[in-house]
Amino acid sequence: MNDLIKHIVRWLFLVLLQIGIFNNIELAGLFNPFVYVFAILVFPLGMPRSLLLILAFITGLTIDIFSNTGGLHAAASTLLAFIRPWWVGITIPRTNYDELQNIRIKDIEFGQFITYTVLLVGVHHLTLFWGESMSWSDFWLITGKTIINTLLTVVLVVAFRYFDFSSSKTA
């Protein structure tokens, strides 16, 4: 129960942070990290896949409503949620994988967490920026934005993970 409340609070916090602050920090029209993906990344590993898909869709749609982007974030987030279980199987070693029902995202090693994050965030951002532009003429702009913002989001996600850690230790 305690965990559930924590997930809800974290979700609300990240969505508000995204629409209130990060959607407005747009240096040179290039830097636009999407920190809300952290909420989807840290949903429990044992969560049923269908629930994961629906929650990711709702998360993306919430961001869409506030950014006038139709269903772009919903599409990108749903894709992220769809490949997440497959990518967990690859990045997190078999020994831990057996206890996957109980394991929490914070029990995963740092290196594994980075690999886990980079691909999922990259796929999410690529879908988002490409879907927004919908044309090949902006190819380099899209590639550039994807790489820069993936790095930026990953850095922020790692920072958030440490924040999660320290708050759980003191609690």
Which chain residues interact with other proteins by CB under 8 A? 19-20, 23, 26, 28-32, 49-50, 53-54, 57, 60-61, 64-72, 74-75, 78-79, 82, 129, 131-133, 138, 141
**Structure tokens belonging to residue 67:** 């950014």
Contacts of 45 (CB under 8 A, 6+ apart): 88, 92, 100, 103, 104, 105
Burial class of residue 151, CB neighbours in 10 A (0-12, 13-18, 19+): middle
Which residue lies nearer to other proteins by CB, 31 or 165?
A: 31
Of 23 and 112, the one with the shorter C-beta distance to other proteins is: 23
Dihedral in degrees, nearest 10, Cα atoms 47, 50, 56, 61: -150
| Closest separation in Å from C-beta 170 to other proteins | 29
